[in-house]
Structure 1
Amino acid sequence: MAEVENAKPKTEEIDYSLANPDTVTKYKDAAAISQRVLVEIEKAAIDGASLVSLCEKGDKLLEEETAKVYNSKKVKVVVKGIAFPTTVSPADIITPYSPLSTDADEASKTLKTGQLVKIQLGAHIDGFPAIVGSTIIVASASGETPAPTPAQADLLLATHYTTELLYRMMLPPSVDTVSSPAAEGEKKQAKKPYTATQINTVLKKVAETYGVSLVESTTTYQLERNEIEAKKRIVVNPQEGLKSEGNPEVAEAWGVEVALSSGSGKAKVLELRPTLLRKTGTTFMLKRATSKQTYSEVAKKFGSFPFSLRQLSDERTAKMGVLECVRGNLLRQYEVQGEKDGKEVSRVFSTIIITKNGIQKITSPSKSLLEIAGDVSDKKITDEEVLKILEIPLNKNKPKSKKK
């Protein structure tokens, strides 16, 4: 009798798309953690608070919160943790900023009452990232938040309406959420996706209304498992040949970023150490022992997600170890950029999921920019095209059940 070969069990392929309810749940669970941590950092962002301490606090909370969930063996989770390290960018700093305690100048930087500060952070569950970013006004040491200046109010209002416009212009043509008679005319427009030129033209109208500028090359990316910068992207105020690619579609997750400036919106590289980095996916033979040690730790701890040098086991060694990795293009560093005119900048970041019924914001600024801006500004949007788009609902209205 011939021997029967032991058949190897087939590896079960996991569906990581948004068609899998588990994927959506993991996105939303990561989002809930990011939102909770954001609130805690906003509370601590008062006069005299050091930027380093806020970043360290945020990362510690992200680690603690992600460690509490998905510990059952019944649910398959490969990894969980920080998708984007905590960053605190005051006043004119445009990009996410994450100073180090081992740099005396950086460690001494603190917040001041009344200035705008941008906070950004993110968690991931099983590689599904949920990032959130907000702009707030720094409160006094006693916790009292001053009213915004007229310039700050204009900036915050412009940021709010620009973000709301971008959401609506990202709705795929197949998703028809229009239900109000006032917005009926938008159904024809929705048959085709908005082009990058159309998006930039409309957003610029809002910026001009409030006397502010779109920050150059602010990019909204599609999100995927283990990736916060997928192939599809929408570039606002593009510079240096950078262009939008692809259109948002149903069953996709996106990280929506909007940034505006009270100045020109042009960026310049600041003389601050780039402390945020991420793997590029390229290969290179490292020569130095410290470089090999650092890269090995990065690959093990962070995968393809961005990280801060302070997250590595030895901050001082890491500073040296990443140099060869950056030269060999194993790691890409994020330069710290500021507003060319030195004016204040606002920036918000939301994570959205696009469904057949519209857009779900699973993360968004915890404090409404409209509420923060108050009634200080005397400017209002009057452009009919902008107002019509703002009327479009983000989701289809669910019919109310009739009570007997």
Structure 2
Amino acid sequence: MAETTQTQTPEVDYTLNNPDTLTKYKTAAQISHKVLEAVSAQCVEGAKIIELCQNGDKLLEEELAKVYKGKKIQKGIGHPTTVSPNSYVTPYTPLVSEAAEAETTLKAGEIAKIQLGAQIDGFGTIVCDMVVVGASEVTGREADLIHATHYANELLLRLMAPPGLLATGSEEEKKKAAAAKAPTQARITQLIEKVAKTYDCNVVENTTSWLFERNEIEAEKKIILSPGSGVKGEGVPDVGEVWGVEVGLSLGSGKVKNLDHRPTLHRRTTTTYQLKRPSSRATLTEIVKKFGQFPFSLRQLDDEKSAKVGVIESVRNGVLRQYEPAGDADNAAVSRYLTTIAITKNGITKLAAPAAPDFEKVKSDKKIEDEEILKILELPLSKSTGSKNKNKKKKAKKADGTDE
């Protein structure tokens, strides 16, 4: 009897050890940055939030269509475009069919948070930045909030570097640094709160950073800043991981309240359930096909009105997670940054990140004086390879003909 041999498809390495993985993350990040810049420029006084969200999603799809053409690689929106007004804490994406919300516009002077992301082959890069609507220069409390958010974010990124990863000095000093324990989440919160207090701000409760994996933006590890009662983070960042790092501060107490809006942002979970209603099954099929397990807005589905009904059974049985709209309990202005980072043996790489504020135009009369905080902020995020500087020097030599 003849033996039949089966050829097995080699298992693909989806970790950062595979250069293709990092390339996909970086390509998705370039798209996220490009669209973020375009939507931010459109955040002017009187702009309708629904139109900003629609424009952002259209741009994401157009840019995604330009990459990995003709290849059997899944790609799409990793996070729909959301624009959150002044006191809104969570990503906000209104629906066309909700008449009152569809008319919501941006007001001069408020802080608008823009969040969006692209994904390629399941590798998502989400980013959130903010603009002060209609302001060429920012002073006063809004400037305090922006300064505080920038430095809190830079501090958190440095606290996420595994101990000893960027240590210098003798081998003995490096070993000692590597043996140190990573800061606890309580300690991280304490340090971030120090920065916030410097600028008379408060950390938004339960601000969560998540471990990202392929097709998953809420993996097992998470860091929670200012956790509420009964809430705690899990795990510490490690080499080879990708994280979505979030910082949110408030000019109020930092406490959060649910808003009287329909939840419009959802995400499929790993829970399975035999849905009873045909409309529920049809809606879920469309969701799985279009978005996988990435977040989506109900406005992205073919029929928005039927989608509002079609998700109810899935939400009730845990097949879909719905994100409850929340805002600052004091209706105070809040900020949000979200940075997608990769942790490699060379340190932390910002894949998709908010732009650094122009401090010539954003002026606060407050400054950080705590020596411990300043010392951490001075630390590099990654090892300097020196290759870029060498290349620059070579180009300079060719340009002016000198050897200096």
TM-score normalised by the chain length of structure 1: 0.92
5 Å matches for 1:24-43? 24-43=22-41
- The Cα of 1:135 is off from its aligned counterpart by 1.0
Amino acid at match of 2:118: A
Amino acid at match of 1:362: L
Alpha-carbon contact 2:167-2:177 (below 8 Å) kept? no
In the other structure, the counterpart of 2:229 is: 240
Instruction: Quickly say closer, same or farther: Cα 1:154–1:321, change in 2 above 3 A.
Output: same
In the other structure, the counterpart of 1:86 is: 81
Of 144, 147, 166, which aligns to 1:176? Answer: 166
For the residue of structure 2 that corresponds to 1:346, the secondary structure is coil
Residues 312-352 of structure 1, C-alpha deviations (whole Å, 9 max, x = no match): 00000001111111111111100000000000001011111
Alpha-carbon contact 1:177-1:395 (below 8 Å) kept? no
Matched, 1:100 2:100: no
5 Å matches for 1:1-400? 3-73=1-71, 77=73, 79-139=74-134, 145-177=135-167, 188=177, 191-366=180-355, 368-371=356-359, 374-375=362-363, 377-399=364-386
Residues 84-139 of structure 1, C-alpha deviations (whole Å, 9 max, x = no match): 00000010000000000111011100011211100000000000000110011112
Alpha-carbon contact 2:80-2:295 (below 8 Å) kept? yes
Residues 196-222 of structure 1, C-alpha deviations (whole Å, 9 max, x = no match): 111111111111110000000000011
Q: Distance in 1 between matches of 2:28 and 2:21?
A: 11
- The Cα of 1:161 is off from its aligned counterpart by 0.5
Q: Distance in 2 between matches of 1:157 and 1:189?
A: 32
Q: Distance in 2 between matches of 1:188 and 1:157?
A: 30
Q: Distance in 2 between matches of 1:227 and 1:280?
A: 9
Superposition misfits of 4+ residues, deviation over 6 angstroms: none
In the other structure, the counterpart of 1:142 is: none
For the residue of structure 2 that corresponds to 1:371, the secondary structure is coil
- The Cα of 1:286 is off from its aligned counterpart by 1.7
Q: Distance in 1 between matches of 2:360 and 2:24?
A: 31
Alpha-carbon contact 1:132-1:351 (below 8 Å) kept? yes
Q: Distance in 1 between matches of 2:362 and 2:178?
A: 33
- The Cα of 1:369 is off from its aligned counterpart by 2.7
For the residue of structure 1 that corresponds to 2:166, the secondary structure is coil
Unaligned runs of 5+ in 1: 140-144
More displaced, 188-197 or 33-42?
188-197
> How many aligned residue pairs are there?
387
Amino acid at match of 2:120: I
Instruction: Quickly say closer, same or farther: Cα 1:30–1:190, change in 2 above 3 A.
Output: farther
For the residue of structure 2 that corresponds to 1:56, the secondary structure is helix
Alpha-carbon contact 1:148-1:372 (below 8 Å) kept? no
Q: Distance in 2 between matches of 1:373 and 1:120?
A: 23
TM-score normalised by the chain length of structure 2: 0.92
Q: Distance in 1 between matches of 2:78 and 2:44?
A: 25
Amino acid at match of 2:152: T
Q: Distance in 1 between matches of 2:283 and 2:343?
A: 38
- The Cα of 1:372 is off from its aligned counterpart by 7.5
In the other structure, the counterpart of 2:399 is: none
Unaligned runs of 5+ in 2: 395-402
- Percent of pairs with identical residues: 53
Q: Distance in 2 between matches of 1:63 and 1:177?
A: 42
- The Cα of 1:374 is off from its aligned counterpart by 2.1
